[in-house]
Amino acid sequence: MTSRVVLMAMTVVAAAGVIAGAGQASADVPPFSEAQGSGLDECDANRVCLYTSPRYNENAPAGSAWMWQLKSSQPNLHVAPTAGDEPDSVFNNTDSPVTLYQHYYVGLCVTVGPGRAIEDLDHYGLKNQVSSVRISTTYVCPSTGSVSP
């Protein structure tokens, strides 16, 4: 008898959770998109495009050519859809400088000018290291190539 009451109570809690979760999901707008793609042409206007492999995924095996498109700064790429520590190349298809950071706006960094691209982030020690992106003319990566916490 007791276990049956507990089971019923758990069912009610689970149902309430589903309802709350549905409301939460509809209010959440992903901060960036995730899709399969390769090449600079796949990058939409006014977006920063991150690619999981060098050379904008042009040599990535089918099914693993992940790319992410951002239209606003993203301090933490480790959110769904997660792109944290994944990018190997980048195309800045915006009119503003864009700075990529190793951590939450600190650590190793590199600034990519408007309309510019980097085909291999390994040149900056940032292959599979980028965790945040700032689209801004105010903040740029210092000549030391890193930002202290």
Binding site for Ca ion (CB under 5 A): 52, 86, 88, 128
Nearest distance from C-beta of residue 11 to Ca ion, angstroms: 43
Contact 49, 43 (CB under 8 A): yes
Q: Report the residue number, 59 or 128, with the smaller CB distance to Ca ion.
A: 128
Strands of 38-142 (E only): list them: 47-51, 66-70, 89-93, 98-101, 107-112, 117-118, 132-135
Task: Specify the residue, 52 or 131, whose C-beta has the smaller distance to Ca ion.
Answer: 52
Minimum distance from CB of 86 to Ca ion (Å)?
5
Rounded to whole angstroms, the Cα distance separating 59 from 75 reads: 29
Of residues 67 and 141, the one with the C-beta less far from Ca ion: 67
Question: What's the closest the beta carbon of residue 89 comes to Ca ion, in angstroms?
Answer: 9
CB nearer to Ca ion: give 98 or 126: 126
Least separation in angstroms between CB 10 and Ca ion:
41
Q: What letter would DSSP give residue 110?
A: E
3 state DSSP class of 83: coil
